[in-house]
Amino acid sequence: MRHVPTFALLITATLLAAGCGGGGDPDPAPVGVVKVVTLPSTLDAGWTLTGPADAYFEGTGDERYPGRAVGTWTIVWDEIADWERPLSQSRTLVDGDSITFTGLYVADPPPTTGSLSIDIEPDDLQARWVLKRLTGDDDRSGVGDAVLHDLPPGFFTVAWQREPGWTVPAPGQVDGLITAGETAVASVTYTVQPAWPFATVRLEAGTYTMGSAAPEPGRETDEGPRHEVTLTRPLLVATTELTNGQWDAVVRGGRVDDPTLANQPVVEVTWYQAVEFCNAMSIADGFTAAYAINGPQVAWNPDADGWRLPTEAEWEAFCRAGTEGSLSDGELSRLDTELDPVLSFFGWSAANSDNRVKPVRSLLPNPMGLYDVHGNLLEWCWDRYGVSYYTADPATDPTGPVTGSDRVLRGGSFADANQRLRCAARAYLDPGAAVGIVGLRPVRNAPTVKSGGK
């Protein structure tokens, strides 16, 4: 027998193992894809999956397993309280194919109510909303984002409420349908309200009756005697109380940083700051400044065409707008802090303001087109205050007493009882005081309108 070297035997064995003479690699093992789908997807149900070669997987929700061995695969679904679990399932996976196990859980018992998700943008805006149902009496209200459960099926409307400084897209509501076992969505995006531009209306020169009649409900003794006053200068009167946005457009002093407050009227402004602002506005607009300011001494040039504070007589004239009642658009019937059926349409008082200042143009204007001459803020006037000044008040262009420490305020505020919002109601304050219920309404002498085109 011939001896065969050991290294030759090793080579021979290797060639045989490699299929010497057969050529090429062996065929790959057959595989496929196994998928798991659970419904409803929000349930995140658990399961156990077994297959060939002792394959074993545990998971929750949806999964996908590529490259799995062919053969029989079986899934068993977990128990979940208050849900009827799917039956166990077996599927045969063949080479290059895929199988899907779908487990549909059914609520036990089936749902009879649905849910509603209320989504408000921006997320931190606590906007108010009201949910109304077309059937039943399950109306609800709230603020900000919310999820409402156990709602009976049927149509619904979510009405979005106005928020100061924000604009809600028309028509201001979302309609939808509640379906049993599902969650409907009502969403809205509020945008910052554009700033109102500065605008004026014209008050013609003329004669009117100033003060309140003796029988007027709520009348104070400093509102009389009632008398005729003649104004010889026509005026351009700001349609609104001066706003933060309008102030910043002139002074650029940043009264507020929040853009949603641009249409809020300026508050906490002293009488001295008010006259200084009027001069700054006059210079910015190319007019002659109405005031010469030397520390606490302020002199007014009545002939200047620049912006200024109205006299008390001018203020009452444009507030009344040709009327002679307690209000510019009717008569006041409630003097207290309860809602008045007339005043509530055009005046912010303690009765309807929630004790906070409101954006301008939020209510109706007076007959002259001026907003908030009744309420919202007290407005600075030029005049010094005199309790008995009406007894000596000049009949033409009165400008108030020549002495006195306090300056006149007119119009009433959001914090006042209805009585204080009457046309003739008077108030006064130290000119150096800055409080949260006081603002201003600039005026200026209007150009004379010539007749006959001359």
**pLDDT (tens digit, 9 = 90+) per residue, 31-60?**
999 999 999 988 889 999 999 999 999 999
Q: Are 22 and 40 in contact (CB under 8 A)?
A: no
Per-residue confidence (pLDDT) for residue 450, from 0 to 100: 64
Q: Provide the sign of the torsion angle of the four alpha carbons 335, 337, 341, 342, taken in this order.
A: positive
Residue 225, pLDDT > 60, answer: yes
Q: Which residue has the higher pLDDT, 451 or 23?
A: 451
| Residues 361, 232: Cα–Cα separation, whole Å | 29
What does the pLDDT look like over 158-191, one tens digit per residue?
Answer: 999 988 899 998 999 999 999 998 999 999 999 9
- Cα–Cα separations (whole angstroms), residue 365 to 182, 245, 329: 47, 20, 9
Q: Which residues contact 370 (CB under 8 A, 6 or more apart)?
A: 201, 237, 239, 240, 318, 319, 321
| Residues 16, 186: Cα–Cα separation, whole Å | 73
Per-residue confidence (pLDDT) for residue 82, from 0 to 100: 84
Residue 7, pLDDT > 60, answer: no
Mean pLDDT of the residues in the chain? 91
Q: Which residue has the higher pLDDT, 41 or 414?
A: 414
The answer to whether domain 31-107 and domain 114-192 are alike in fold is yes
CATH code for 200-445?
Answer: 3.90.1580.10
Per-residue confidence (pLDDT) for residue 44, from 0 to 100: 86
Q: Which residues contact 171 (CB under 8 A, 6 or more apart)?
A: none
pTM above 0.75, yes or no: no
- Which burial class, exposed, middle or buried, applies to 409 when counting CB atoms under 10 A from its CB (0-12, 13-18, 19+)? buried
Coil vs helix vs strand at 105: coil
Q: Which residue has the higher pLDDT, 253 or 238?
A: 238
The mean-pLDDT minimum among 42-46, 262-266, 315-319 falls in 42-46
DSSP letter at 245 equals H
Residue 364, pLDDT > 90, answer: yes
The total of other beta-carbon atoms located within 10 Å of residue 300's CB is 15
E-state strands within 122-160: 128-133, 140-143, 146-151, 154-160
CATH code for 114-192?
Answer: 2.60.40.10
Q: Which residue has the higher pLDDT, 452 or 151?
A: 151
- Cα–Cα separations (whole angstroms), residue 77 to 41, 43, 91: 14, 12, 15
Domain covering 31-107 assigned CATH 1.10.287.70 in the classification: no
Residue 202, pLDDT > 70, answer: yes
Residue 94, pLDDT > 50, answer: yes
Phi, psi (5° rounding) for residue 158?
Answer: -105, 115
Residue 451, pLDDT > 70, answer: no
DSSP letter at 396 equals B
What does the pLDDT look like over 267-309, one tens digit per residue?
Answer: 999 999 999 999 999 999 999 999 999 999 999 999 999 999 9
The mean-pLDDT minimum among 138-147, 318-327, 354-363, 414-423 falls in 138-147
Longest Cα–Cα distance of the chain, Å, equals 153
List the domain boundaries for the chain: 31-107, 114-192, 200-445
Residue 4, pLDDT > 60, answer: no
The mean pLDDT of 103-125, rounded to a whole number, is 90
The mean pLDDT of 211-222, rounded to a whole number, is 95
Classify strands 235-238 and 443-445 as parallel, antiparallel or unpaired. Answer: antiparallel
Cis amide bond preceding 341, omega within 30:
no
Pick the closest to residue 160 from 140, 135, 188 (CA basis).
188
Coil vs helix vs strand at 266: coil
